[in-house]
Structure 1
Amino acid sequence: MRAGGTDALPAPEEPDVTGYRPLLFSIAYGMTGSVGDAEDIVQDTFLGLTRARNAGTVINDPKAYLTTAVTRLGIDHLRSARVRRETYVGEWLPEPVVAHAGDPGPAEHAELADSLSMAFLVLLETLSPVERAVLMLREVFGYGYQDVALIIGKSEVNCRQILARARQRIAAGRQARDNVPAPARRAQGEELARRFFEVAGGGDLDALLGMLAPDVVLHGDGGGKAQSLARPAAGASRVGRMLVAGLRRVLALGVVVRTAWINGRPGAVMYDAEGRVAAVVELDVADGVVQAIHSVVNPDKLTHLGPVSDVALLPRK
């Protein structure tokens, strides 16, 4: 085919960018702690790329473009979410990322979210949006300072200062909650979770106490909509008794426990007799025992996993 006496060359084919989706999701999830918000941000990021291309913008490095866009959208989202977090009822925990054995979809997210445990995401809540972004990019995803500076839109020197402040702000929390050996390897963690819920559900308090660290902490997020702890509970004896009593109550209602991988940690999803999601529990494991437990029963944070049970919902007044 000729146009103006010369061969008309076809427009160059744009490179496929869908392979970056897991990375973009993990960045957005690390920024927001919300699966739904992260997915929306990723979608907006891809739409922005499409619009830029349609407008004739030449994008030589799509990965850098997308990473920058998703990070900046995450910063904007956090700034708008501050008021909602401040008025949240009870303890705030992130929406769980769940991977069942043999389930390919959630696992794609979970693999890159392995460093985003619930405890770590809670610590990140103490940071400003920009501090959170710099810490995430540098320490979780391993970006160099030059890349971080380009993504954030600040100088390398400024980014180093921001990271230093961020590290200082979460140092105390890390010492209290993360200053332990690396989490148990996956196979060991899954086996521990299976035995943990089996022992707790069977009511064997002595055996359960042997699986809990002396200073274990139980965290719960009901968001004021479901029955949960008003504040964290600490100590093996207290936590053990609460777990045995709580599991006895829900198992009597027909709830079943299915072990799963939660935010890169062993845990379980609980389903009611109709197969609806009732709760998600994550276990922080180190030195062969459970150091912390995070339980999410807020129905708003479980909808991405399927139909939500009414087992734990608070009665209407």
Structure 2
Amino acid sequence: MTTLSDETAAAGYRPLLFSIAYGMTGSVGDAEDIVQDAMLGLVKARKAGTAVENVKAYLTTAVTRLGINHLGSARVRRETYVGAWLPEPIVVPAGDPGPAEHAELADSLSMAFLVLLEALSPVERAVFMLREVFGYAYPDVARTVGKSEANCRQIFARARQRIAADSPALDGPAARRAETAALADRFFDAAAGGDIDALMAMLAPDVVMVGDGGGKAAALATPPVGRLQVARLFAGLFRRMQRMGVTVRQAWVNGQPGAVLHDPEQRVIGVMSLEVTDGVVLAVRSVVNPDKLGHLGPVSDLGLRPAHGQN
């Protein structure tokens, strides 16, 4: 029989469970559904008389395995996805610690890292995340994914070889925020002012700008690479947004500096994030696919037209 203390304990694990589910799927909506299914599964197990001694372990295992199953069916959809794929953004307003549901993951699962995880199989992704991101011991990883400890060590080693061990996603959040907040302020100020020289000074030589429109919103067909090309495109984009009355509100996007774009009716147009390392912007990622923005509020039907081709 489920007690009030059981329900309270289960609810207290939601941030961790959401983090795992989001790391597996890259989708806010799917992560929330997976967590809810795991919670319902716990209730049903209790009602059926199943003894659940460790609620956290039970829920973590349920969420991880649901995530693995989800990725198995989602992989076909990913293969037919139009244009570049980026995860649904987790947005926390600048200066706001954000909702507890998202706080545990924001600084450890950046867009860049989640894109890297796409190269892994569902089980590899689960093992790598549990071990590398959440710090689970191998016996716990093995129990969660239903593999032997030795097998999990092998899976992790293979996954680590496929993903750079020094991914920016795993840097310390406090240090990253301290280094990047001021840079983001200068970057967006320069973009708003059309100062290409200032923008170029903050961009890495091989900076890239990636847009995810999902075939439903205007996005660059070929990601521009290089300081001059990205600076010119960014300055031009901000000029067009200003003419259309678009509001740019800085925010933390998956633990990285960025901004949310709103149309004059305060509907969400898109989300940008800056990948910053060693004081320069390595990449600008933009999500304008309306299917990935609904969790942030009403979505705009205003399509921003890029200077070059579109998906």
- CA drift of 1:104 comes to 6.2
Q: 2:279 aligns with which of 288, 293, 296?
A: 288
Query: Tell me, which stretches of 5 or more residues in structure 2 are unaligned?
Result: 306-311
* 1:61 is aligned to 2:47: no
SS of 2:272's equivalent in the other structure is strand
User: Distance in 2 between the 1:145 and 1:11 partners?
Assistant: 30
- Name the TM-score, length of structure 1 as normaliser: 0.90
- Name the TM-score, length of structure 2 as normaliser: 0.91
* 1:78 is aligned to 2:78: no
Q: Does the 8 Å contact 2:113/2:169 carry over to 1?
A: no
* 1:122 is aligned to 2:77: no
* 1:260 is aligned to 2:251: yes
Q: How many residues matched?
A: 302
Q: Does the 8 Å contact 1:193/1:268 carry over to 2?
A: no
Q: Does the 8 Å contact 2:213/2:288 carry over to 1?
A: yes
> Over residues 206-247 of structure 1, what are the superposed CA-to-partner deviations in whole Å (9 max), with x where a residue is unaligned?
011111111111111000111111132211111111101111
- After superposing the two structures, state which structure 1 stretch, 101-110 or 304-313, moved more: 101-110
User: Distance in 2 between the 1:83 and 1:123 partners?
Assistant: 18
Alignment of 1:227-238 (within 5 A): 227-238=218-229
Paired letter, 2:53: N
Paired letter, 2:150: V
CA shift in 2, pair 1:107/1:51, >3 Å: closer
User: Distance in 2 between the 1:106 and 1:80 partners?
Assistant: 30
Q: Does the 8 Å contact 1:214/1:236 carry over to 2?
A: yes
User: Distance in 2 between the 1:23 and 1:178 partners?
Assistant: 21
Paired letter, 1:59: V
User: Distance in 1 between the 2:172 and 2:280 partners?
Assistant: 12
- CA drift of 1:182 comes to 5.6
CA shift in 2, pair 1:213/1:254, >3 Å: same
Q: Which has the larger radius of gyration?
A: 1
What RMSD, in angstroms, separates the aligned Cα atoms of the two structures? Answer: 2.1
SS of 1:234's equivalent in the other structure is coil
Structure-2 residue corresponding to 1:52: 45
Paired letter, 2:154: Q
Structure-1 residue corresponding to 2:263: 272
Query: Tell me, which stretches of 5 or more residues in structure 1 are unaligned?
Result: 1-9
> Over residues 177-226 of structure 1, what are the superposed CA-to-partner deviations in whole Å (9 max), with x where a residue is unaligned?
74997675324423322221111111000011111111111111000111
Structure-1 residue corresponding to 2:104: 111
Structure-2 residue corresponding to 1:38: 31
Paired letter, 1:292: A
- CA drift of 1:105 comes to 5.2
Percent identity of the aligned residues?
A: 69
Q: 2:209 aligns with which of 199, 209, 218?
A: 218
